[in-house]
Amino acid sequence: MIVVMKVGSPEAEVARLTEEFASWGLSPETIVGKHKVVIGLVGDTVDMDPLQVQEFSPWIEQVLRVEKPFKRASREFRHGEPSEVLVQTPNGVVPFGAHHPIVVVAGPCSVENEAMIVETAQRVKAAGAAFLRGGAFKPRTSPYAFQGHGESALGLLAKAREVSGLGIITELMDAADLDAIAEVADIIQIGARNMHNFSLLKRVGAQDKPILLKRGMSATIEEWLMAAEYILAAGNPNVILCERGIRTFDNQYARNTLDLAAIPVLRSLTHLPIMIDPSHGTGKAEYVPSMAMAAIAAGTDSLMIEVHPNPAKALSDGPQSLTPDRFDQLMTELAIVAQPLGRWSLQPTAAIA
């Protein structure tokens, strides 16, 4: 249930109502928007009559029910305003959201050694990326495939962060690694395979680092938003949703089916920022640029692009990784799409190394 307060409602009245709702056994969450204050009520509200709730204060403008099973993630919970996720990086705060420039995240699938991660960081930084991605713990289909270098790779990410000033995104697979990952990551990734790992979702919901929640490869949009709801319900409001391709009947030419329709669908359902990963979405480097441009045209807030200094020698996901040179070119192409939409903060020439 959503309680929309009138413009200019006194803070003391909002506080009084919040206390009142808490005394009914509900969890009230006050959201201060650009124009209005909204109090989101989560809990057993089925038997509550919105008109009766409205009578509790002359400052209440409207009381609405959220019909969707996801409450905190729903667009209504913010009264239609998109939320922003502000991420602290060594280079300052990077905002993700519908009212902000496109944020580009780039880097290798896996952190392989110091030279490659530092070189990649410097190249993608020069091209205009704001975050370096790279897996230390890799979720591989085969137990015999490269599993990532683990903790030692976290040290290499810390080094790349220090040298480049980029924010770091890396995947958490096991709650036991949370503290070590949180030490270096500015955003913690929950991968497609763990989108349904509810205990892990609760765990990352109970800590402060922003979360990049990738869509499970066979997850419906509602299941994905319910996974986000787990993180939000546990207390972490900073969740970014990443579409990375889903399984369909056809994987003959592309690894997955990149669901770009998810962008307008999510926009209508949730206030959370959106990221598109055309690298895992297509599985082939040659298809990545067109899908990245399409994603911007369709309204994504951010992109994740796999980049490797030598894709032919990559220990994982080489076929879908761009070279740093191709990434430079892609950034100039993305600028052409994003600039007229008012969503590019880099100078047109900044992307040329």
Are the C-beta atoms of residues 169 and 105 closer than 8 Å to each other?
Answer: yes
Q: Which does 102 bind (CB under 5 to 8 A by kind): Mn ion, ligand PEP, none?
A: none
Backbone angles phi, psi at 332, to 5 degrees: -70, -35
Q: Are strands 92-96 and 85-89 parallel, antiparallel or unpaired?
A: antiparallel
Are the C-beta atoms of residues 285 and 320 closer than 8 Å to each other?
Answer: yes
d(CA 41, CA 38): 10
Contacts with ligand PEP by CB under 6 A: the residue count is: 9
109 binds Mn ion (CB under 5 A): yes
Residue with structure tokens 């991660």? Answer: 117
150 binds ligand PEP (CB under 6 A): no
Q: Which does 214 bind (CB under 5 to 8 A by kind): ligand PEP, Mn ion, none?
A: ligand PEP
Which is closer to ligand PEP, CB of 28 or CB of 283? 283
Stretch touching ligand PEP by CB under 6 A, among 48-56, 186-194, 259-267, 324-332: 186-194
Shortest CB 224 distance to ligand PEP, Å: 12
Stretch touching Mn ion by CB under 5 A, among 54-62, 71-79, 102-110, 185-193: 102-110
Which is closer to Mn ion, CB of 171 or CB of 186? 171
d(CA 117, CA 329): 20
291 binds ligand PEP (CB under 6 A): no
The DSSP-derived string for 88-156 is EETTEEEEESTTSPPEEEEE-SB---HHHHHHHHHHHHHHT-SEEE-BSS---SSTTS----THHHHHH
Query: Is 228 strand, coil or helix?
Result: helix
Residue nearest to ligand PEP (CB): 191
139 binds ligand PEP (CB under 6 A): yes
Shortest CB 186 distance to ligand PEP, Å: 16
Query: What is the DSSP-derived secondary structure letter of residue 175?
Result: G
169 binds ligand PEP (CB under 6 A): no
288 binds Mn ion (CB under 5 A): no
Q: Which does 139 bind (CB under 5 to 8 A by kind): Mn ion, ligand PEP, none?
A: ligand PEP
317 binds Mn ion (CB under 5 A): yes
CB atoms within 10 A of CB 6: 14
244 binds ligand PEP (CB under 6 A): yes
CB atoms within 10 A of CB 105: 29
Q: What angle do CA 329, 331, 337 make, to 5 degrees?
A: 115
- Please identify which residue in 135, 167, 205, 273 interacts with ligand PEP, judged by CB under 6 A: 135
Using CB under 5 A as the binding rule, the residues of this chain from 156 to 185 that contact Mn ion are none
Shortest CB 300 distance to ligand PEP, Å: 15
Q: Which residues bind Mn ion (CB under 5 A)?
A: 109, 317
